Amino acid sequence: MTLLFVSTHEDPAAWTAELRARLTEVPLRVWPELPDPDAVEYALVWAPPPGLLATLPNLKVVFSVGAGVDALLADPDLPRVPLVRMVEPGLTEGMTDYVCQQVLAWHRRGPLFARQQREAVWRPVLHQKLARERKVGILGMGALGADAARTLAALRFDVAGWSRTPKSLPGVQSFHGPEGLAPFLARTEILVCLLPLTPETDGILDRRLFAALPRGAVVINAARGRHLVEQDLLAALDSGQLAGATLDVFREEPLPHTHPFWSHPKIVVTPHIAAITQPRTAVAQVVEGIRRHRAGQPLEHLVDRDRGY
């Protein structure tokens, strides 16, 4: 029984140190070191090479390093074994920190004053809404969205959430399903996208959605680059339908240096750093998952492959 760690992006040192300290009874291998594929029963992965997991004949569970599993599900040879998405305190807190930072920045006109500083312009804005007067909407009310919504509500923002199915969260107005999207958008001044990427949500941030927001709204995308139709965003910004956007994820990463997002005056770009899985807090979920599986108990945070999350 072996755990295989596979990542084409992560430095394995921090992961292996935590795993070896907390999972002493399970041998650990780090890809591409794989002397005995037959021994591997568990895999902890991020962006593994397509087809790699299919070469492990005794694989029993796949644990994702990240909250999103769209890249894994795109592998046509992905074994039909339980797939567990990452839900861990460090990842959730990091996303909430990022969302609050960006919402507060747009709420208090941070990008405007940063531009005025670069231009050495002293131009106070004397009218400023209070947080309780600012309507924030969270697209996607899973673990990440729910935590961000709770924290923004605690900061006194007027928060609503939209999800595929009904959700109930104290202090947060809830909308759900196709019929709930239009009224949700109509009341949202700052829109935060934290949706999983599925065939239904691919390209959801498009001209029709932007037109359904109040004029002068702001969009924050910290989910997946493919949620956004890039040309529709540029058109909405240039027309004034949107006042600004913060983008942490992109269809092509790294973002090409010639991409118009870099120089657009109404766009804030961050390099896919909104929420980073922390080995020191995430390994506990993997250890618990292996323990539950070995004990014949139900696994937590299982991915529904039909839904894509």
Decide if 227 is catalytic.
Answer: no
- Cβ atoms of 302 and 277 closer than 8 Å: no
**Active-site entry in 29, 85, 134, 224:** 224
Burial state string for 179-203 with b = 16 or more CB within 10 A and e = fewer than 16 = ebbeebbeebbbbbbbbbbbeebee
- Cβ atoms of 309 and 84 closer than 8 Å: no
Can you tell me the distance from the alpha carbon of 82 to that of 302, in angstroms, rounded to the nearest whole number?
7
| Structure token digits, residue 30 | 């780090």
| Structure token digits, residue 196 | 């999983």
Beta bridge partners of 176: 163
**Active-site entry in 272, 292, 293, 294:** 272
Decide if 272 is catalytic.
Answer: yes
Can you tell me the distance from the alpha carbon of 104 to that of 102, in angstroms, rounded to the nearest whole number?
5
DSSP reduced 3-state for 212? helix
- CA proximity to 160, closest of 145, 144, 178: 145
Which are the catalytic amino acids? Answer: 224, 272
